Structure 1
Amino acid sequence: MIPEDSRFQSDPDLVIRNEIGSPPGLPPGWEIGTPDPSDRFEVARLTHLLRAHERHGRGWAASGVDDVLVEVSEQGLRMRENVVVRDHKGEIRAWGSVHDRSVGRMLFVHIVDRDLAGDVARCCSDVLVDWAVGQARAVGAARGLEVQQIDTGAFADDDRQHLWLTEAGFEKVRTWWQMNRPVTPDEADLTGHPEHWEKDGVVFRLVRRSGSGMPDEADLRAVHDVLEGAFVDHFNSSEETFDEFLFRLREDPGHTWDHWWLAELTDGGETQPVGALVGTVSESSSGPDGSYVSYLGVLEAARGRGVAKGLLRTIIADAAGRGRDRVGLEVDADSPTGASGLYTSMGWQTKYVTESWHRDVTVDPES
């Protein structure tokens, strides 16, 4: 179940004092605190920092206010905690966010103002990392773990971030291709109706909806079970409960129930869920929206039946029918499964590259 109370420590000063035992060495008048999600100016400042971080790392910005609110809103704080560094004028110059993602895995967002001088920027980075390590100990202890992983990301071309993470004890563990595929209007006919179609004994359909418009819980559990089973042997897989899974995906600004599909085998007259695709909407301020493949999984027993390709064709046809011009996804560049070959064969191309960096933190479960 999702905890009613956060597993994190809410006082950033206490976390940092416990971690380093001394003041963090910020310039005079600079302070550590938490952002106020009700203050539109602070939310705008966080959005500015995030977009500048993206522009430097990959050449353009895509995030907006909704992406920030996922991290800092009252609802988000059930599974997250945030820290900011304010300068002597009270302006936020650095922002860290941690997410209690699943057992043993804590995500860490690490953003420092690109306009800061080198020594001050580095000091801000150290504060964010020390705070994240302290939070890792807190959430790991609350879960009764001996080791808590911190999982953070970086753009492949962000040398400043790479240096800071390396010196803070993080290790680059994976490379990810962020891929995009153009969609044309005629591809609306790529499948039968994307809500429900069948090929070679496999049915592809949207999750069922009740009269109230809410999705059928049995279908949602089937999606969760398929994805848990499909990714059990994949890189950095960790167990996530159904409630954690559902809560997290509903937070996504692009979430919509009519982008959740199941693939079922109909062999022998019985239906068996063997594949799932969870999609989201990628909104654009300067053109058509796009679709995004957040999750695509196929159970091992059904591989080779065209399930993954069928699900991808489904979201392409759905996007075309909605007047969208692209479908994006992320693929593990180091995966031995060869999934990237399927994507490239269907027209996906790498748009930019990101990396996963990890640090394991020793936890005292009794603390």
Structure 2
Amino acid sequence: MSSSPRLPAPADPPLEGLPPGWTARPADAADAPALHALLGRHEAAATGAASSHRSAVDAVLTDGAATHRHVLALDERREVRAWASAQDRAEGRVLVQVLVDPALDDATADAVAAAAFDWADAAARHVAAGRGLTVTQVDSGAFATDDRQQRWLRAAGYAQVRTWLQMTRPTVPADADPAPGASPERVRVRRVRRGDDGMPDGADLLAVHVVLEESFTDHFNYRPERFDELVSRLRADPGHRWDHWWLAESVDAGEPSRPVGALVASVSPGRDGAPDGTYVAYLGVLRSARGRGAARGLLGAAIADAAARGRSYVALEVDADSPTGADALYRSLGFGTSVVTQSWHRDVRVDDLP
């Protein structure tokens, strides 16, 4: 996929408008323990339980440093009470996260959140400037049960645009030997091939990229992503494993086999000693091949793999308004909704930079 050339971006914006006595500074790897604790408090306040693993925080501070900008807000005692980040997710799309300590009183939290979202707007403009763009979408989110975060997003000029179902399926030992999920005479599911050195076959990786790009063109908020960007971003996930990539191939009689579906998963480390799980990051099937059982076969392969490894669950995210009706397939395979989240968007223009 073509993209605008990257240009030198302006320096990171300052975080201004904090309460008297507060300070701001960039984040680095040494902040991971404090930020993981802040994330856990945020999740517990919004959903009743902390869920994120420490490795996810480590990853965005280290492996994701090339595409992420971070700023921290510290109170009078120099304790971290808020964290804002902006990720260059794809051309014309910046992912923003603003976390404010739920222990703060409403007036203080409101002021800190407003300052953090202002910083995020400026950071997004800097990212867009680095890509040679004049405007970019800023994409943030909230749990459906988090009225406070939604109030801040609305005040910052965001609009809710989508709802997502976070679905989970427990595994049992019998899942390790499932019945075929695809029609074997029409679709074959296999792992991405790997060489003796453990590295994946380049042609198979390119096939995964092509299938995912073509599969998602009719999905909400699709943005083209270059092959190198996709692979680099997925490899930065601490749970990435090359043996968690699968292809579905059409094997119709009289026709050469061709890739028609792909699934990319990762390891979800268990929190506080809980068993690991498998997270399905991508599942796509070409529109021309839908209805043949490719998606069911790919999911069956991921579930069987998770069970064989002794993992306790398989999880994924699905658009509540998916044009493919994917949530019905997932429910038929035993998935249930655990958490509901929302996407909130706004557009910012580079020419608004000071």
Out of 27, 31, 52, the residue aligned to residue 23 of structure 2 is 31
Distance 1:65 1:81, change over 3 A: same
Of 88-97 and 166-175, more deviation after overlay is shown by: 88-97
Aligned position for 1:216 = 201
**Alignment TM-score, normalising by the size of structure 1:** 0.90
Percent of aligned pairs with the same amino acid: 50
Aligned position for 2:276 = 289
SS in 1 for 2:174: helix
Superposition deviation, residue 365 in structure 1: 10
Maintained 8 Å contact 1:8/1:135: no
Residue 61 of structure 2 corresponds to residue 72 of structure 1: yes
SS in 2 for 1:360: strand
Letter in 1 for 2:261: G
Q: Spell out the pairing of 1:211-290 with structure 2 (5 A cutoff).
A: 211-267=196-252, 268-284=254-270, 285-290=272-277
Superposition deviation, residue 364 in structure 1: 2.8
Aligned position for 1:19 = none
After superposing on structure 2, the runs of 4+ consecutive aligned residues of structure 1 that deviate more than 6 Å are 1-7
Distance in 1 of aligned mates of 2:190 and 2:201: 13
Superposition deviation, residue 43 in structure 1: 1.6
Residue 323 of structure 2 corresponds to residue 336 of structure 1: yes
Distance 1:251 1:166, change over 3 A: same
**Alignment TM-score, normalising by the size of structure 2:** 0.93
Aligned position for 1:12 = 13
Aligned position for 2:172 = 184
Superposition deviation, residue 25 in structure 1: 3.4
Gapped regions of structure 2 (runs ≥ 5): none
Gapped regions of structure 1 (runs ≥ 5): 17-23
Maintained 8 Å contact 2:5/2:132: no
SS in 2 for 1:253: coil
Letter in 2 for 1:128: A
Distance in 1 of aligned mates of 2:279 and 2:164: 15
Superposition deviation, residue 135 in structure 1: 1.2
Distance in 2 of aligned mates of 1:142 and 1:286: 41
Distance 1:355 1:8, change over 3 A: farther
Number of positions where the alignment pairs a residue of Structure 1 with one of Structure 2 = 351
Distance in 1 of aligned mates of 2:72 and 2:246: 39
* CA-to-aligned-CA distance 1:160-208 (integer Å, 9 cap, x gap): 001111011000000001111121111211047x9xx981221111111
SS in 2 for 1:257: strand
Maintained 8 Å contact 2:280/2:314: yes
Distance in 2 of aligned mates of 1:35 and 1:223: 34
Aligned position for 2:292 = 305
Of 137-146 and 172-181, more deviation after overlay is shown by: 137-146
Distance in 2 of aligned mates of 1:103 and 1:5: 10
Maintained 8 Å contact 1:198/1:204: no
Aligned position for 2:309 = 322
Letter in 2 for 1:200: E
Maintained 8 Å contact 1:46/1:95: yes
Out of 39, 54, 63, the residue aligned to residue 50 of structure 1 is 39
Distance 1:99 1:52, change over 3 A: same
Residue 123 of structure 2 corresponds to residue 138 of structure 1: no
* CA-to-aligned-CA distance 1:58-94 (integer Å, 9 cap, x gap): 1111213211122222x32211110111112221111
Distance 1:140 1:358, change over 3 A: same
Superposition deviation, residue 147 in structure 1: 1.9
Distance in 1 of aligned mates of 2:334 and 2:261: 21
Superposition deviation, residue 3 in structure 1: 11
